[in-house]
Chains A and B, each alone.
Chain A
Amino acid sequence: MKTLLRFNFLKNRALIFSVLGFHAFVALLAPYLRLSSTDSQDSAALLQGPSLNHWLGTDSLGRDVFSRLLHGGRPSLVIAFAATAISCLIGIVIGSLAALAGGWIDEALSRVIDFMLALPTLILLLLISSFFGQDPLILSVALGLMYASPIARVARSATQTLLARDFIRVARLQGGSRISILFGEVLPNVWRVMFTEVAMQFTWILLAFSSLSFLGLGASPPTPEWGLMIAESRSYMTLNPLLVIAPIMMLASLVLAIQALVDHE
């Protein structure tokens, strides 16, 4: 127990990278792994414990938990990647543009960013998903737009510090236009500063989508998705606790590994 307490899970690089590698491997290769089907229901074997046929047992519809578990990260990962890409694109361009332009443009864009930050994200997502259907495309775009404002804010301040540096002044004195400075000097440098912020955003978006699924408005059944799996199996926790423990471990290990990777405390 003492060694366990002393062991710093969040600072052990080898552990972090092997967890991330495991998730990447599973997410990319799950469909090719000759697993049993994720939706075939075996009504003779409901809520069974672990066995040779079903390594982690079966859920309330007799579906193989192990197979669903390995497929369960894919929907959220795809959406999180798409939404993060959208939010980065919009956030970084708007943020650095605001800092670069200065004056009233900066003022106006900052107000828009502040306004977006004040919006109640989850309730808006629920509204969109409920009224426009649980379409992955719509959800990614909505998530991307909503999570663009924190990125824009960080990009704006990062660019502002950058603008005081000599090489930007040189580029200005050489007669570079604002647009060429934005793409040639600012963006390549801001990107590096932004990496931490973007990785954090990625986990927030992933978790937001999982929470939506948990509430029944993200991934729609019978898609295997961790949040949805937890929601579906909670009533059967007493019979087979693995049904909720397994997806929780997968989700937790993934987001904690990403957070630990970027957290330089």
Chain B
Amino acid sequence: MVTRMSTTVIREIDNTSNDPRQRPVLITQGADFGPITDSVSAVAEAARPPKIWYVAMGISLCLTGILGASVGYLIWMGTGIWGLQVPVAWGYAIVNFVFWVGIGHAGTLISAILFLFRQKWRTSINRFAEAMTIFAVICAGMFPGIHVGRVWFEYWMFPIPNYLNLWPQFRSPLLWDVFAVSTYMTVSLLFWYVGMVPDLATFRDRSKTRLRQVMYGIFALGWRGSSRQWHRYEVAYLILAALATPLVLSVHSIVSFDFAVSILPGWHTTIFPPYFVAGAIFSGFAMVMTLAIPARAMFNLKHIITLRHLENMNKIMLVTGMMVGYAYSIEFFIAWYSGNPAEAFAFINRAFGPYAWAYWTMVSCNVLSPQVFWFKWCRTSIPVMFVISILINIGMWFERFVIVASSLSRDFLPSSWGYYIPTRWDVLTFAGSFGLFMTLFLLFCRYLPMVAMAEVKSVLPQAGRHPGHGQYWGEITPEENGEDRP
């Protein structure tokens, strides 16, 4: 079997029509079982990945090296190398933790919530969104881990009695975090893996070398596509989706509890849980976008991750961006309405105090920039959405920075006010975490099925050629398929 992707030209086809009489096509070219398997497998089966992959991998490995060095130096020297100083004892580490964990929410969201809502377009993007989740959660988990300073005492956080017979402090939100993030990591990993088993079987069956056969064979678990297996598989997948959905909500809610159970003005506000969840989804979709746009070009997947998929994600970013904007405004209003001077000051200080630059960066990136998605040409323009997705990533990082730095630096006692300045180690560690994330992601793209082939197949028109079906879902019409985009 020879991979023939090189002979097939993948064009950008506009499938974003909104005609209510007909559902849009999801796979714009070669929408049949064989070609889809070929184009997805081509990435992993090619003798060499594209040149750009090596360039990206080189950069990512350099950054990962920087991460290793900064974490090593941190463990050697202690957290004094960071810019942490009373009153701001939570700095980059917590900002980065919340940032990465937030990004880690889109994968499971796309998989789980969109699955429950029967959004069939999810099948093209869910696999690598889930992978992204796992890598982002790895980056996220690292930060509180190294932030404790004496990493060799990390086992104190687990529910095992230490030699003093003392147990973890279950009434602390920081411990809830340990449970929430590790549960989330485990369930996401299971969800990702379970979804991948049938595709790994495909890879196994297509493998040419013994090594590949054995490796993919082990992880495919002996899957034989039996309908009796599929039946339980589908039930398990549905249950996992139904579990993962409240899990996504709970994890970022618990992250928000880290802040909101305190009495610090700007942190203690009841809208934090849903507001954090919306922000997490927002940032996660932005990151999926940032990765999907280059990946679909690099690996020739423009017919599977189509403009329609990108447009839908842009719409979700617009919606979640509005939700975040709603939370910013309600917080501001209630800060005044509460009649609590400390509360009101915290917000005036955010917007006009020493961190105003960060606050307005956040507002313009998170609330203003997605507004361009009201216009269809922006929603369907690759350069525009790429830029906006990066802006949102920046804005969401600043959101966490504003929450952490502005509230801590100026609380109730003016005599203890301060100003947080990160050191070069803060910045290098953060930059390095991108290296780790990208390295894992590039490895994933190269060796694992990047698109959920089995799931994409199940939403193709051929999968259910029953009477009346094509009328509602996915029959390609000449009008739909006609127009090329430059």
- A and B: bona fide binding partners: no
Chain A residues in contact with chain B, CB under 8 A?
none
Chain B residues in contact with chain A, CB under 8 A?
none
